[in-house]
Structure 1
Amino acid sequence: MEVNGKYSIGILLTFVLLAAAMLYSFPVITLITGIKGITATSFFLSRIVIWIVLLIVFLYSIVIEKGSFLLKKENSYSVLFYIKAVLSLYFICLIGGAVLNAIILFFIPEKISDKLLNLVPVFRNNYFLIISTCLTAAVAEEFLMRGYIQPRIEKIYNNPTSGIIISAILFGILHSTYGTIGQVLGPFFIGIVFALFYKRYSNIKILIICHFMIDFISLMALNFINIKHLSVF
């Protein structure tokens, strides 16, 4: 099989495994452990499933593709650049996401995601779960969406724009399990911003740090905010 064919299968494998993890990890965990509903334990176990997906894709890249997991060579930057890049990305995502959310709510008054409401008490004062969840999302999603999928789509179509747009679309779709338009378009916007940065600067570590910061600040805010104000997020 030619390299592009292996890349195509790898991209499909990654998306299918991530989608399956999002949709079916809790029913499977309930079947195996007997834990019903979303609890701190079941949610933590569902994050382990995401790490397993990352491991499977990593092994696929090594064994089947017979190449490097990251096609793009990591560029090195100064500590000052890291600080500036992380803060810039964070505020671009924060401000852009807020504007996008306001536009969505203006045209389509959405109720708060039921899944998000169910997660609030699970994370309440559980700092281990907050940190492990943020770390899982930051590392696994950036390695898989930007590090793995984006450059391979670019190689297949020989077009950087296709890698940016398609990876962002897939990133948005994977968040559709929250059940609201905002929870799809928000990640899509972040996916575009992160993909553009990765194409320009080729540094996955900065994206991991920023992704962790976005999720950590959001979850910490949810840890203390009143549930009736959740629409802000």
Structure 2
Amino acid sequence: MMSVNGRYALGIVLAFGFLAMVMLYSVPVINLFFNDKTLTADLFFYNRLALWMVLGLIFIYNFFIENRSFFLWEDKKYSAGFYIASIVALYIISTAGGALLNALIMTLTQEKISGKLVQLQSIFKHNYFLIIFTCFTAGVVEELLMRAYIQPRIEKIYNSPVLGIVISSLLFAILHMTYGTIGQVAVPFFIGIVFAAFYKKYSNIKILIICHFIYDFVSLMLMNFIDLKHVSFF
């Protein structure tokens, strides 16, 4: 019979593997039914729905195979003031740090704007339902899987908080490789470190979900009204 750590390890592989498959292959597979030549709002919407399916599969795996609580770290309760202060601080650190890091990378490598971002700007244009749904999906699915699920299990397997933070952040960054630029991998890695360190210290996934939603929502709204080259560092 597989040990608890073995079941945790398999769950991590499944969670990351399913997420990677959705990122890489869901659009081409879904497009078999639409036969669109370019990425459309409908295709992207169904791609986001596929992420919810991954979350559902991991919940099922956790319930039937792991037979343990999905949340290895119980969510701690804080005051409303702590929520607000934490969300503001995390947003400023993520935005400012990410922007500086991306600007440095673009300066040193002369990296061009991600072609995928250009595509996304066109499908998000004035499509506020898709913007909100995309940001909500990213906030809930990515934080529940990368932080609440994967990070504590890595820490338990290796008995190392540092490895839990670093490896979960690295996996989070790898999932963003589909954007095709160094900056779109380095910045998520930086944000992953910030979020994972916060989660380790304060054990509150709701704050991270809200902050993740706000970060993506502001970025996508800026893409709606400002030329992409002026906001690409976000």
> Given the two structures, how large is their TM-score scaled by the length of structure 2?
0.97
Q: 1:73 to 1:8 in 2, by over 3 A?
A: same
Map of 1:107 onto structure 2 = 108
1:121 has 2:127 as partner: no
Q: Percent identity?
A: 60
After TM superposition, give the deviation of residue 230 of structure 1 in Å: 4.2
Partner of 1:232, secondary structure, is coil
Q: Is the 8 A contact 1:101 1:186 kept in 2?
A: yes
1:132-154, CA deviations, whole angstroms, 9 ceiling, x for partnerless residues?
A: 00000000000000000000000
Map of 1:14 onto structure 2 = 15
Q: Which amino acid aligns with 2:97?
A: G
State the alpha-carbon separation in 2 of the partners of residues 228 and 208 from structure 1: 27
Q: Is the 8 A contact 1:130 1:216 kept in 2?
A: yes
State the alpha-carbon separation in 2 of the partners of residues 81 and 95 from structure 1: 21
* Structure 2 residue runs without a partner (length 5+): none
Q: Is the 8 A contact 1:138 1:212 kept in 2?
A: yes
Map of 1:142 onto structure 2 = 143
After TM superposition, give the deviation of residue 33 of structure 1 in Å: 3.4
Q: Is the 8 A contact 1:172 1:191 kept in 2?
A: yes
Map of 1:63 onto structure 2 = 64
Alignment of 1:1-233 (within 5 A): 1-233=2-234
Q: Which amino acid aligns with 1:131?
A: I
Partner of 2:66, secondary structure, is coil
Q: Is the 8 A contact 1:82 1:206 kept in 2?
A: yes
Q: Is the 8 A contact 2:91 2:211 kept in 1?
A: yes
After TM superposition, give the deviation of residue 99 of structure 1 in Å: 1.4
* Structure 1 residue runs without a partner (length 5+): none
Q: Is the 8 A contact 2:20 2:175 kept in 1?
A: yes
1:150-206, CA deviations, whole angstroms, 9 ceiling, x for partnerless residues?
A: 000000001111100000000000000000000000000000000000000000000
State the alpha-carbon separation in 2 of the partners of residues 33 and 64 from structure 1: 36
Q: Which amino acid aligns with 1:6?
A: R
1:10-57, CA deviations, whole angstroms, 9 ceiling, x for partnerless residues?
A: 000011100000000110111133344211111100000000000001
After TM superposition, give the deviation of residue 224 of structure 1 in Å: 0.5
After TM superposition, give the deviation of residue 216 of structure 1 in Å: 0.2
Q: Is the 8 A contact 1:112 1:230 kept in 2?
A: no
Instruction: List, as ranges, runs of 4+ consecutive aligned residues in structure 1 with deviation greater than 2 Å.
Output: 32-37, 227-233
Of 181-190 and 93-102, deviating more is: 93-102
Partner of 1:133, secondary structure, is helix
